[in-house]
Amino acid sequence: MLLKVNKSLNFSKKPRSLRAIRYLIIHYSGMQSGRVSMDRLKNPKSKVSCHYFIERRGNIYRMVEDNKIAWHAGKSKWKDLKNLNKCSIGIEIQNKGHFINYQNFSKKQISSLIRLIKVLMKKYKIKKRNILGHSDIAPLRKLDPGEKFPWNFLSKKGVAIWYPKNRLQIYDTALKIRRKIFFRNIYKIGYRFFNLSKKSNKDRKIIMAFQRRFLPKEINGKITDKTLKISQLLS
């Protein structure tokens, strides 16, 4: 796989063991162009970076070596982990994002991404359940890679999880226990930043983050029958 190099010095000084790498985190750049995005990822003042950047044309740039801790995840949680930077590789995909002009990802980008993921999965023995979006690990702050990111297509290529549609039978569940079941399910999957036993104004953002990943045509922040069932199938 052909990689271009565009080095960023935004990483922690102390290197990590390659055995620590257990997750891949997918981001979008959220800026006007690839050049502007990479310039920011290299700017020491920005204090952000990633390991790999994928342009619209599908070119892959290595920005930080895998054994270095890049600054891509920020305040994040997944299962019992609180700082995903330490155990993950960050992959940034060029896209203007929700606050400028959210685009469909190009076929070349997705093709390059799948090739890169397969290499990293094999190299570091990463499970497909551990390939996550930024909004999965930081649902109160982040929207990327967003509802236009083709998670279902990636699952067909063996590099992400999805739910079995042939088992998507909907059952009526009382509203009183709906929240409890849903949040218990997504807690098992790995989502955090919520209270299992108490409602919160954070709930809606958490639900939307889950829907953005697994139900992109139904992002309403409500625990619908389909949202609940998908959470059960994945937990």
Q: What is the DSSP string of 37-99?
A: HHHHHH-TTT----SEEE-TT--EEE-S-TTS-BS-S-S--BTTBS-GGGGEEEEEE----TT
* Residue 66 pLDDT greater than 80, yes or no: yes
> Average pLDDT of 171-187?
84
pLDDT digits (tens, 9 = 90+) for 115-124: 999 999 999 9
Of 65, 92, 147, 218, catalytic? 92
* Residue 73 pLDDT greater than 70, yes or no: yes
Q: How far apart are CA 101 and CA 191, in angstroms?
A: 28
How many angstroms separate the Cα of 30 from the Cα of each of 130, 167, 215? Answer: 23, 35, 22
Do 137 and 191 touch, CB atoms closer than 8 A?
Answer: no
This model's pTM is above 0.85? yes
Do 70 and 11 touch, CB atoms closer than 8 A?
Answer: yes
Sheet with 23-28: list strands edge to edge: 4-5, 60-62, 52-54, 88-93, 23-28, 131-133
| Alpha-carbon torsion angle 171, 175, 177, 182, nearest 10 | 70
- CATH class of the 4-156 domain in this structure: alpha beta
Active site residue 92: yes
Q: Which two tokens mark 178?
A: 């709906």
- CATH class of the 165-234 domain in this structure: mainly alpha
The per-residue pLDDT for 124 is 98
pLDDT digits (tens, 9 = 90+) for 85-117: 999 999 999 999 999 999 999 999 999 999 999
pLDDT-derived band at 173 (thresholds 50, 70, 90) equals low
Domain boundaries, given as residue ranges, for the chain: 4-156, 165-234
